[in-house]
Every structure is written in structure tokens, then in C-alpha cells.
Amino acid sequence: MRKHYDFSKARKNPYAAQLKKSVTIRLDEGSISYFKGLADETGIPYQSLINLYLKDCAASGKRLDLSWKTSRAKGAA
């Protein structure tokens, strides 16, 4: 960097904090391996791919089908 640049009056980007937020999330090994494989194919970091996928799901209003088959209790009619 050149010495004649003066950053003494510089300020942080006020929008930088709004761009991404660090969170802790627990993912199974299979999911991580899947996105790491995609990362190798595309050259995009796997965390960015996960973010892009989740962003696409949110934008399209995709809903997860969380219906499980219920087992009948023994002796129930």
C-alpha cells in the first residue's frame, strides 16, 4: 500500500454488519459432504453454497413437508 494514502478519517461501512451474520448450526456429515462435493465441482466455498441454497428456499417460499406416519397404539380399533 502506498504511504500517501490517508485513512485517518475513514469509517467502517455501515451496511457491512447487515450483509452476513455468524451463527452456529449443527449439520449431519452427509449434508456437509454433499455441499463440499458441490464446492469442489463449482469452485464456490461450501458455506456459500449452503447460504445460496437457503436463500433460494426462503425467496421461493419453499416449505418442508414434516408429516410423519403415526403408528396405531396396540389394541386400538
Burial of 26 (0-12, 13-18, 19+ CB in 10 A): exposed
How many Cβ atoms sit within 10 Å of the Cβ of residue 35?
20
- Prediction pTM value: 0.63
Please say if the pLDDT value at position 1 is more than 70: no
The string of pLDDT tens digits covering residues 3-50 is 788 888 888 887 776 788 889 999 999 999 999 999 999 999 999 999
Please say if the pLDDT value at position 74 is more than 70: no
Q: Give the domain ranges of the chain.
A: 21-59
Write down the pLDDT at residue 33. 98
CA torsion sign for 35, 38, 40, 46 is negative
Q: pLDDT-derived band of residue 55, with 50, 70 and 90 as boundaries?
A: very high
Cell reading at 19? 450483509
Listed in sequence order, the residues at least 6 apart from 44 whose beta carbon sits closer than 8 Å to its beta carbon are: 38, 52
